[in-house]
Amino acid sequence: MSNQGLNKLLLFLSLVLFCQAVTAQVKNHLPYSIFGIGEIKSKGFGRNLAMGKSGIALSSGMFLNNLNPASYNAMDSISFFFDFGLSADFVKYATENNNSQRGHDINMRNIAMGFRVNRKWSAGIGIIPFSTVAYQITSTGNVEGTTDIFNMEQTGSGGLNQFYWDNSYEIFKNLSLGVNASYLFGNIESREEIFYDKFTYSIISTKTSRLNKVYLDFGIQYHLPVGKNLVFSMGGVFGNTHRLNFKESISVSQSNGLVFEDKVTREGTFNLPLYYGGGVAIAWAGKLTISGDYLFHDWSSITSENTEYEYLSNHSFRVGAEYIPASLNQLGYLGRITYRAGYYHDGSYVRIRNTPISDNGITLGIGIPFLKNKTSINLSYNSGIKGSMENGLIRQNYHSVFLSLTLHDWWFIKPKYD
């Protein structure tokens, strides 16, 4: 392996270790992550997130795009892309009796690379969060048969990560097919701690679920040039039902260290639903790009074991735009800065007390380019509302900031020194 290739590998491994440290922190600002496998995260990198999370029809010629595994075929044969992203979330959640709290965290968004394998085959590799569990609930109750009060604190943490390998193969000019091979893995921990004034210790019950699965998803993308300056693009994605393997264990103990029970309680599978989606995009003269996506996940085919909620098939609608003012020789460097905006509506996959928990938001962003190659810094901002205060539920007002660094390098080109 060359020194250049070794440096890339060391950079990749060091960022993986850094991201593990970042994701280890405790978060408690996602109350609806108590249901199912947590709050499911959208795919996409810095460009997608600033364009309303859209991009099923967008190529990966300048920016990596994991929304569609067929997108990578637009990369040229000597390009290597590396993308590293961080996100910061600021959340205020409120109930109908005017109680409110705030939460925030900084987390790894993605770490990925993309490259061309041969003339017709391109690939992308990366790791992204698939779902997040992060809640904290306090409540009180009566000790049975008495008027005594006990306090209970429920916390949840963990989630699922997705390690993926995207493959794009060019069938003929402008048409490519994609296959995504993914390994889904992670732990979800639910913890209940009971405090009673007459005890010098608390009682702790911890349930841990470990989930994993290897599966395949698919994509297609077609780009149709119309005249000299206009390109019309279409894309589609599809994933069949997948069964996640899970093992659940429970531990009951006292805070002083005495353990009452510690055992595996059950093993089985958790279903992920069939999904499909499509997208269109129009690019004009290298200046303006408009994209729109639709996604459907068939969660209603899955039965909930918990009577407090039911799974609900959800629809997502996403639109976005990107504008580059001018070429370098017209407006100088400022003319190459990219401006982005978008809107999204994501339906919930759970319904609580007959109330769906939809997510609506707007996005803004800029891309700051490096002049010598395709390297860029991408900043995006999302603002949205999730949930409702009806029927005793919680409404989340959130603001998210994403920082994405897209590194571009040339393969097989040796630098010259004077």
| Structure token pair of residue 309 | 């909620």
Q: Are the C-beta atoms of residues 283 and 262 closer than 8 Å to each other? A: no
Answer whether residue 415 is part of any domain.
Answer: no
Answer whether residue 147 is part of any domain.
Answer: no
Tens digits of pLDDT across the chain (418 residues): 444 444 444 444 444 444 443 333 345 578 888 888 999 999 999 999 999 999 999 998 889 999 999 999 888 877 889 999 999 999 888 877 777 788 888 888 999 999 999 999 999 999 999 999 988 888 787 777 777 788 889 999 999 999 999 999 999 999 999 999 999 999 999 999 999 888 888 999 999 999 999 999 999 999 999 988 999 999 999 999 999 999 999 999 988 888 888 888 888 888 999 999 999 999 998 899 999 999 999 999 888 877 778 899 999 999 999 999 976 666 777 888 999 999 999 998 888 888 888 999 999 999 999 877 778 999 999 999 998 888 888 899 999 999 999 988 765 445 454 4
Answer whether residue 144 is part of any domain.
Answer: no
Q: In whole angstroms, what is the distance from residue 331 CA to residue 293 CA?
A: 32
Q: In whole angstroms, what is the distance from residue 334 CA to residue 326 CA?
A: 9
Q: What is the CATH number of the domain that holds 388?
A: 2.40.160.60
Q: Are the C-beta atoms of residues 273 and 262 closer than 8 Å to each other? A: no
Answer whether residue 365 is part of any domain.
Answer: yes
Name the amino acid, one letter, at 130. F
Tell me, what's the pLDDT at 410?
A: 65
Answer whether residue 282 is part of any domain.
Answer: yes
Tell me, what's the pLDDT at 2?
A: 43
187 Cβ partners below 8 Å, 6+ apart?
158, 208, 209, 210, 211
Answer whether residue 71 is part of any domain.
Answer: yes
Tell me, what's the pLDDT at 336?
A: 87
Q: Are the C-beta atoms of residues 292 and 279 closer than 8 Å to each other? A: yes
Beta strands in 95-229 (DSSP E): 100-116, 121-142, 149-172, 175-196, 203-226
Answer whether residue 294 is part of any domain.
Answer: yes
Tokens 């040039």 belong to which residue?
Answer: 225
What range defines the domain where residue 373 resides?
A: 3-132+159-186+214-239+274-410
Number of domains in the chain: 1
Q: Are the C-beta atoms of residues 110 and 127 closer than 8 Å to each other? A: yes
Q: In whole angstroms, what is the distance from residue 379 CA to residue 77 CA?
A: 28
Answer whether residue 311 is part of any domain.
Answer: yes
154 Cβ partners below 8 Å, 6+ apart?
34, 135, 136, 137, 138, 139, 190, 191, 192
What's the pTM?
0.87
Concatenating the DSSP letter of every residue in 340-363 gives: EEEEEEE--SEEETTEE--EEEEE
Q: Are the C-beta atoms of residues 78 and 412 closer than 8 Å to each other? A: yes
Q: In whole angstroms, what is the distance from residue 389 CA to residue 395 CA?
A: 5
Q: In whole angstroms, what is the distance from residue 20 CA to residue 107 CA?
A: 10
